[in-house]
Amino acid sequence: MKFFNYLFGLGISFLIIFSGCGKEMTIPVYFQIDSVDFTADYVAFGTASHKITDVWVTVNGTSVGVYELPAKFPVLASGQSKIQISPGIMLDGLTAKRPSYPMYTTYITSENLKVDTVYQFYPSFTYADYVKVAFIEDFEDAGMKFTAKENSPSLKKTGETNEIFYYPGEINNYSGKISIADTGASFFEITSNDAFSFKNTNTRYCFLELNYKMQIPKNDTLIVEVGLYVNNITGTKVQFPLIKIRQSEVWKKIYINVTETINSQSATMKDFTFYIKGTTRKGVTASCLFDNIKLLYVPL
């Protein structure tokens, strides 16, 4: 993406040179966005932890591109202008899938743009007013919102300092932990206790968000999958894997697309639960840590 920004800027430079041969020279302004801020009402939405990697920029209703942060890029506009900056993410943890995230707000401002001037922006985002919370597990309350599959180790709370997820300004006493060695099994699987009846007839968007990290012996692997169990109106249950999470020994944030699956299954679906499962080589001791598991949706 940064290479693309360079090429785009180079193209603008050529445009300036060649346009000078005509009657009017076109000179851009420059936008600079080094970082973004994100806030959240903790009572309503839980943690403000985010993984905003890109910005989608519009000037006077016209898109001027998508840029990986930090970014500095030319814009062919001048005079009083309306500027909109939307947050972009890596959907399903994939660098090739980088949409504007519809659950977050768009930053809107205006500037009287003057050519050959650098304008710095410090956009701030939050959850949009239309976003609803169907599920949050932050491991701070009594009880657990997941059930372990038979023969699977259970999801437990951990208060160990080196295992808790921390976000600046927030108080977090516990995270969730599954240790495969607890039962000698080579897998774990947990499923949400609640079922959700979101369909394309009542839901515009649906996403899972979560923080995670793994504790795995060197040279071993822990394959972690997130998916849905769809309960059909006929009484059957069908498993739909969504993604496999990349291994990480540090805390990461991931956004998981649920919308496409519920849309494709709406005709026969009654409701669904979601699951997280992990597998490793037999005899390996490995753990997976989770926090701030959220199921968010936008109703129609």
* 3-class secondary structure per residue, 203-242: EEEEEEEEEEEEECCCCCCEEEEEEEEEEECCCCEEEEEE
**pLDDT higher than 60, residue 231:** yes
Q: Report d(CA 286, CA 150) in Å as an integer.
A: 19
Lowest mean pLDDT among 52-56, 177-181, 230-234, 262-266: 177-181
Query: In the numeric block, which tokens belong to residue 263?
Result: 């849309």
Predicted confidence at residue 283, as pLDDT, reads: 86
Q: Where are the domains of the chain?
A: 2-125, 132-299
Predicted confidence at residue 183, as pLDDT, reads: 66
| Secondary structure, 3-state, 127-172 | ECCCCEEEEEECCCCCCCCEEECCCCCCCEEECCHHHCCCCCCCCC
**pLDDT higher than 60, residue 21:** no
Predicted confidence at residue 5, as pLDDT, reads: 43
Q: Report d(CA 47, CA 23) in Å as an integer.
A: 55
**pLDDT higher than 90, residue 17:** no
Predicted confidence at residue 26, as pLDDT, reads: 84
Query: pLDDT tier at 182 (50, 70, 90 boundaries)?
Result: low
**pLDDT higher than 50, residue 15:** no
Domains 2-125 and 132-299 share a fold: no
Model confidence pLDDT, tens digit, residues 116-160: 999 999 999 999 999 999 999 999 999 999 999 999 999 999 999
**pLDDT higher than 70, residue 253:** yes
- The fold adopted by the segment(s) 2-125 is Immunoglobulin-like (2.60.40)
Predicted confidence at residue 10, as pLDDT, reads: 36
Predicted confidence at residue 14, as pLDDT, reads: 35
How many percent of the chain have pLDDT more than 70? Answer: 91
Predicted confidence at residue 174, as pLDDT, reads: 98
To 5 degrees, how large is the angle CA 52–CA 160–CA 156? 85
- The fold adopted by the segment(s) 132-299 is Jelly Rolls (2.60.120)
SS3 state at 249:
coil
Model confidence pLDDT, tens digit, residues 254-288: 999 999 999 999 999 999 999 999 999 888 999 99
Mean pLDDT of the 40-61 span: 98
